Chain A
């Protein structure tokens, strides 16, 4: 038996291709970035070693901190608004008849299935200040005061984009939670129901503790997804107005590709990866007792 699991050749054949492919196309391209981050680099030439100047530049740049702050906002909104909604929907869904469940599973995934281009274009039309459905609906129900120039106002641009993003993935997260709930053996519930526990009691006492691992997984995936946010911002507002709705990745893209400061862009890239590692580490250690293999 142990020889079966110790087969060196098989081990090599099974693990090497993945490690090589992954290292080559995902990890390796990171390293030139590290080198570039210590140089004044315009994308073509190394214009001299500048030590930590690029790092200083980024850390003193209000634009960078603004974009980081935007990311934090998106993460907070999705963690404290989006995920609870998804979880609640999943819990409710579990109590529904099979027909409704089926319908809801189908529809909730739709936004995640469609391409970002389509979703972004639709939300642009929704948010359009004059003809858009949102402002028109607000007028109709007599809440005209709440009308905004959603994507064109520095105050509302980021929340609007974040909302579109959130909306797109609420369904996906719900399905993940739901399948987690499904994997909890029915006997646990039955025991609780016999005790006379209601919807909330059952969930708080039984389902949530058992769902820890799923919650953690969804949390990591969703937080990282929020941090990586680029496409929605690019398509819906171009980071604007001004730089109001930029995220870190957008800022990185702008500094490197628009301003030709590849050294600075690399610094942002490195800080980004480090931040992601830290955050994942924190979630792993703070959210649940058991460690997730990550």
Chain B
């Protein structure tokens, strides 16, 4: 008994002492992000050649900067390598430490942690929901004046790509190509031929084809759903768009709520895809790799994916894409699509950087190399012009043509949600994929964060 009292006493004492230290420390955090201070890795550092200027006496210290990006796909891996390789030539006098994060989830976690602790690198890739808290915390600078002054803005062929955030500022250097990414329904031609199936033109035909495929032991359609939440990020939106593109636009502008019958109907259609076994059982746990693998090994007939995977998808023989099956006779699937790019996507510059002007240059460099890489390796068109040679495959060409001819391009609704709403939205979207959760329940459960989101936006 005596021990216990002592124990509590000691704890209380330690507690009081530490509260003092803790509070003092909490406030001072944030200013220690000295880019040069952290030790730089030899392997990760692209050292620039010493300046060739004859005036050796003004020997300048190299500008030390840190850049973080994710390298979740092979294209980005190659791009990161290019950034290291060309640094010396394009940005002499820069010493850049690259922090390359292997997965999108890791990258998101890193951004969150760094944002909280004030350790954001000088330049970093950001996009979608993780960018909002960073902007809100004032941790990134407005790039508008910089790129107007140095003429970088002129390199973008389509000014739409430079669309600012809702407050009129531009926080990230767009890479120019994400706008062209769109959700596609790829399919294995050989499977359809083998069973004498026609390409489904309407939603009902899709259900019928899927039934046949299931009977033959082939999975009709896969979509990545676990780490990359395909349902939340595009499938729900595609279903709304096929019914009425205006629904997506209105929801994006907060003009309607998730309880709108059209929204609920679209969500229920996703549920139905699971109930009718168009999507396989357990699709909710299908991660990116598994979905791609099932399609590539011809175990699944159709693959709903974003076109940034086009270059790896077309490595599978006998692959093509089809138009999304028609849901509403009034909406021609050939005329609507969803684009991907959102404001605040691209390379941002930390407001705590010691060398803001140089960091902006680095961000421009990063955006250009990304655009170059995605054009040359990823075969993706880009609004940020580079000297990349685009050697498009037939499939990629047709994808671009189809994209260009659509008259209505709906925004990637999910990317425009604030972080709270975004998390809840993805969570509920995964519930939809169990086939046991209805659009009505979804609308009810999303109501609270949605109200907060609407309030916050005003």
Contact = CB atoms under 8 A, between A and B. Distances in A.
B162 interface: no
B275 interface: no
Contact of A35 (B19, B115, B118): B19
Nearest to A259: B420
Interface of B: 14-15, 18-19, 21-23, 25-26, 109, 112-113, 115-116, 118, 133, 136-137, 139, 219, 226-227, 280-285, 419-420, 423-424, 427-428, 430-431, 433-434, 436-437
Contacts, number: 101
A213 interface: no
Interface string A121-157: 0001000111000000000000000000111111000
Given A149-B281, A242-B437, 15 more contacts: A27-B14, A31-B18, A32-B22, A35-B26, A42-B136, A44-B118, A44-B139, A45-B137, A129-B280, A129-B281, A129-B282, A152-B282, A152-B285, A240-B430, A257-B109
B18 A238 contact: no
A151 to B, nearest CB: 5
20 contacts: A23-B18, A28-B22, A31-B15, A31-B19, A31-B21, A34-B19, A43-B116, A130-B282, A150-B282, A151-B285, A154-B431, A154-B434, A238-B430, A241-B285, A241-B437, A259-B419, A259-B420, A259-B423, A259-B424, A260-B420
Contact of A260 (B21, B22, B133): B133
B18 A27 contact: yes
Contacts of B118: 44
Is chain B's interface secondary structure helix, strand, loop, or mixed overall? helix
A48 B434 CA distance: 40
Given A151-B285, A152-B285, A260-B133, A242 B419 contact: no
A152 B18 contact: no
Contacts of B25: 32
Interface string A47-66: 00000000000000000000
B428 A237 contact: no
A259 B453 CA distance: 12
A interface, by DSSP: helix, strand, loop or mixed?
Answer: loop
Contacts of A129: 280-282
A165 to B, nearest CB: 17
A152 B109 contact: no
A238 B423 CA distance: 12
Contacts of B137: 42, 44-45
Contacts of B280: 129-130
A242 B427 contact: yes
Nearest to A63: B427
B18 A240 contact: no
A254 B116 CA distance: 15
A152 B282 CA distance: 5
A258 B423 contact: yes
A23 B11 CA distance: 11
Contacts of A237: 285
Interface string A22-33: 010001100110
A127 B281 CA distance: 12
A153 B25 CA distance: 45
